[in-house]
């Protein structure tokens, strides 16, 4: 099986997106894949290949387990708890492996883990527009503020170039 430990985070997310795309293609053609580390083939050109098998009802939790394998470190398989510092990925894996609320593949495809940068920016813009009209002590503002440090740290402005921050501050004030 392929050694994922040397890959960067972004490369691992790209592989997840490719696996998701390959599963969609297989489903459209009446197939499924045995999602184990040994069923993922990476060619010399770094192209992903899945081994097709008859459709399996265990495919979604297996995909979740495969995410844990891809994000393992030092040869130690990850556990869901190990992804808590990556809330979006943690949410996806928890959802995929929960027998009570297991999603369908088309639902997984819409998860924020697989959003493009443009979609993420559009979402943040929509949220920002909605928040602009909320009262400072509303429930939604308090919930956002309570989790904001988990998401962006103490100073979110350090994540962007100074020119961008100066431009944004002309239109809105941010705390």
How many other CB atoms are there within 10 angstroms of residue 72's CB atom?
17
Look at residues 26, 47, 17, 43 and name the one whose alpha carbon lies nearest to residue 110. 17
pLDDT digits (tens, 9 = 90+) for 53-93: 665 668 888 888 888 888 876 667 678 888 888 888 899 99
- Indicate whether this model's pTM tops 0.75: no
Q: According to the model, what pLDDT value does residue 96 have?
A: 93
> Taking the alpha carbons of 38, 44, 45, 46 in that order, is the dihedral positive or negative?
positive
Q: Considering the chain, what is the average pLDDT of its residues?
A: 81
Q: What is the mean pLDDT of residues 7-31?
A: 87
Q: State whether residue 71 is helix, strand or coil.
A: coil
| Mean pLDDT computed over 151-158 | 71
Residue 175 has pLDDT above 60, yes or no: no
Confidence at residue 82, expressed as pLDDT on a 0 to 100 scale:
86
């Amino acid at each position: 099986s392929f050694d994922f430990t040397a890959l960067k985070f972004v490369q691992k997310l790209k592989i997840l997106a490719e696996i998701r795309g390959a599963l969609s293609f297989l489903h459209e053609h009446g197939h499924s894949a045995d999602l184990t580390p040994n069923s993922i083939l990476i060619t010399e050109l770094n192209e992903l290949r899945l081994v097709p098998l008859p459709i399996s009802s265990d495919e979604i939790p297996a995909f979740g387990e495969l995410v844990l394998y891809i994000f393992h470190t030092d040869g130690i398989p990850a556990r869901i708890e190990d992804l808590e510092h990556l809330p979006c990925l943690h949410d996806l894996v928890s959802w995929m492996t929960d027998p009570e609320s297991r999603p369908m593949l088309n639902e997984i495809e819409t998860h924020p883990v697989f959003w493009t940068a443009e979609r993420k920016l559009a979402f943040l813009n929509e949220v920002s527009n909605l928040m602009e009209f909320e009262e400072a002590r509303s429930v939604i503002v308090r919930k956002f503020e309570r989790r904001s440090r988990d998401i962006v740290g103490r100073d979110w402005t350090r994540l962007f170039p100074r020119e961008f921050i100066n431009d944004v501050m002309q239109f809105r004030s941010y705390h």
